[in-house]
């Protein structure tokens, strides 16, 4: 049972109800939990939409970053969703297992992914990023992409915290098809 109750469908705002009725993620428990923050939730939704459609970080790398955040913050609800996303996106099980095993330097990752994972770990765990890790990520990513990655990390830290504080029950696992369609719509593939 959720510690914080979900917003009843009949109490959703018109925009939230539209999302509930028409968007793949609208019926998920997380959407109805976030709906409590009626004035903040639209901005969060807009940020998620931008992350799905408009950032320049490649989708597979975005997803590796998301998995790392969820592992580090022990976000069980979102982890369950993003395991499916990873499968749909074609991320090898060995990479998912390495992240789940806290092996961010595993040989299964290339140097770019290792830099991304080290950066993600430090942003999540220490906030500040040391020069060595920053220089490593800076060798592979543009300033825009680095700031985009910080936004991705921050969004998933938020989702992990909200869902874990609420002890959100894992409901339908709908993330895979949702992200696949978003990536395709953005012209990013996702196979």
For residue 56, give Cα distances in angstroms to 50, 51, 104, 142.
10, 9, 23, 9
Residues 10-25: b if buried by 16+ CB within 10 A, e if exposed: eebeeebeebbeeebb
**Which of 64, 54, 59 is closest to 116 using CA atoms?**
64
Compute the half-sphere exposure of residue 69: CA atoms within 13 Å on the CB side of its CA.
Answer: 26
The pair of three-digit structure tokens given for residue 96, joined into one six-digit string = 């998912």
With tokens 């543009």, the residue in question is: 142
pLDDT at position 27 is 86
Mean pLDDT of all residues in 125-135? 97
Helix 76-89 × helix 59-72 angle, to 10°: 150
Residue ranges per structural domain of the chain: 9-184
Nearest to 156 by CA among 179, 188, 136: 179
Check: CB of residue 32 under 8 Å from CB of residue 41.
no
Q: Is the pLDDT of residue 60 over 50?
A: yes
Q: How confident is the model at residue 181 (pLDDT cuts 50, 70, 90)?
A: low
Summarize the confidence of residues 176-185 as an average pLDDT.
64
Stated pTM of the model: 0.90
Q: Please give the helix or strand (H or E) that residue 116 lies within, else none.
A: helix 111-125
Among 176, 179, 177, 191, residue whose Cα is nearest residue 83: 176
Residue 186 predicted with pLDDT over 70: no
Q: What is the pLDDT of residue 191?
A: 41
Mean pLDDT in residue range 35-62? 91
- Mean pLDDT of all residues in the chain? 91
Q: Is the pLDDT of residue 182 over 80?
A: no
pLDDT of residue 171: 82
Q: What is the mean pLDDT of residues 166-187?
A: 71
Mean pLDDT across 158-166: 96
Residues listed for the chain: 191
3-state secondary structure 131-190: HHHHHHHHCCCCHHHHHHHHHHHHHHHHHHHHHHHCCCCCCCCCHHHHHHHHHHHCCCCC
Q: What angle do CA 9, 181, 87 make, to 5 degrees?
A: 100
Confidence band for 190, pLDDT divided at 50, 70 and 90:
very low
- CATH 3.40.50.1220: does it fit domain 9-184? no
Q: How confident is the model at residue 115 (pLDDT cuts 50, 70, 90)?
A: very high
């Amino acid at each position: 049972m959720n510690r914080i109750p979900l917003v009843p469908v009949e109490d959703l705002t018109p925009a939230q109800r539209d999302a509930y009725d028409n968007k793949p993620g609208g019926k998920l428990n997380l959407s109805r939990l976030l709906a409590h923050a009626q004035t903040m939730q639209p901005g969060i939704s807009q940020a998620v939409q931008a992350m799905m459609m408009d950032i320049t970080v490649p989708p597979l790398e975005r997803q590796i970053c998301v998995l790392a955040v969820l592992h580090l913050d022990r976000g069980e609800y979102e982890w369950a969703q993003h395991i499916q996303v990873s499968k749909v996106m074609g991320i090898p099980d060995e990479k998912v297992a390495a992240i789940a095993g806290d092996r961010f330097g595993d040989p299964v990752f290339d140097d770019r992914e290792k830099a991304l994972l080290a950066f993600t770990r430090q942003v999540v765990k220490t906030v500040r990023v040391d020069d060595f890790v920053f220089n490593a990520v800076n060798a592979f990513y543009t300033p825009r992409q680095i700031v985009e990655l910080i936004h991705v990390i921050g969004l998933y830290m938020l989702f992990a915290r909200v869902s874990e504080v609420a002890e959100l029950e894992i409901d339908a696992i709908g993330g895979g098809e949702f992200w696949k369609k978003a990536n395709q719509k953005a012209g990013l593939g996702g196979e």
